Amino acid sequence: MTARFQLGEPVRVVDTGASGHVRTPRYIRGKRGVVERICGEFRKPEELAYGRYDGERESLYRVRFAQREVWPDYSGPADDTLDIEIYERWLERSEEGR
Amino acid sequence: MSGHHDLGGVRTDAPVPRAQHAILPWEMRVDALMQLLSDPQRPGGALMSVDELRRGIESLSADEYRSLGYYERWLQSLIAIMTEKGVVERAELERRFAEVERAHEREHAGGGER
């Protein structure tokens, strides 16, 4: 399995509607950012959370978001950013990063 | 689709306490217990994963989640996961809790009345 997204690529966080144990916080769903780094492939938290330690691996990315994209009323400097590690399944290509 | 633990971005009028507090000895023990149970180097392999710890915490009821402290949530989750896997029995734990409590009371009563 190879990483679907490249370094610097604009992405958007999709809401997969997944329930149970997930690591993608609600506030970041639907937001646009850029791939800051490709972290590698890791087992899925949804499976690990139920004791399945030998499941498939999935690409994990560190995605950088502008704070003003995440919080519309953000009053700090415009170049403030927020990094979150997100699994590939939660990401789709976006035309613009911010 | 998100649980009550997923609080980022939720608006609140409640004050947010920013003061740090010292980590108590029992809190360190809970942390150590988690490290030991999830250590892949332990004989027989890890008994649980950090993801299971999180799932256990997220499975607490909204009321429990709100009323318990950070390491109290960890402890409840550790108990839930370890009983779920049959590593310990809840009844066995309850017996031990009662023993420790009685020992504590004896000590306390002895020291206070003399």
The answer as to whether A36 is a domain residue is: yes
Residue B93 pLDDT = 94
In a domain, A1, yes or no: no
Domain that holds residue A25: 10-93
- State whether residue B18 is helix, strand or coil: coil
Dihedrals phi, psi of A65, to nearest 5 degrees: -115, 145
Q: Do B51 and A48 touch (CB under 8 A)?
A: yes
Please list the rounded mean pLDDT of every run of 10 residues in chain B (114 residues).
79 89 95 96 94 96 94 97 95 95 88 52
Q: Distance, in angstroms, between A12 CA and closest chain B CA? A: 18
Query: Chain A interface, mutation test: which of B2, B39, B82, most A Cβ atoms within 10 Å?
Result: B2
Of B6, B9, B51, the CB nearest to A49: B51
Domain contains A84:
yes
Q: What is the pLDDT of residue B73?
A: 97
pLDDT of residue A1: 62
Domain count, chain A: 1
Instruction: Give domain status of residue A38, yes or no.
Output: yes
Report the percentage of chain A scoring pLDDT > 90: 82
Provide the pLDDT for residue A17: 77
CA angle B75, B78, B79 (to 5 degrees): 90
- Report if residue A3 sits inside a domain: no
The reported pLDDT for the residue numbered A98 is 47
In a domain, A2, yes or no: no
To the nearest whole number, what is the mean pLDDT of chain A? 92
| pLDDT value of residue B94 | 94
Q: Residue A70's domain is classified under what CATH number?
A: 2.30.30.50
Ordered structural domains, chain B, with CATH: 31-113 (1.10.472.20)
Over the stretch A39-50, which tens digit does the pLDDT of each residue have? 999 999 999 999
Residue at A5 is within a domain = no
Task: Classify the complex by whether its ipTM is higher than 0.90, answering yes or no.
Answer: no
Q: Which of B8, B58, B85 has its CB closest to that of A21? A: B58
Check pLDDT > 90 for residue A76: yes
Best of A24, A48, A54 to disrupt the B interface by mutation (most B CBs within 10 Å)?
A: A48
R_g of chain B computed on alpha carbons: 18
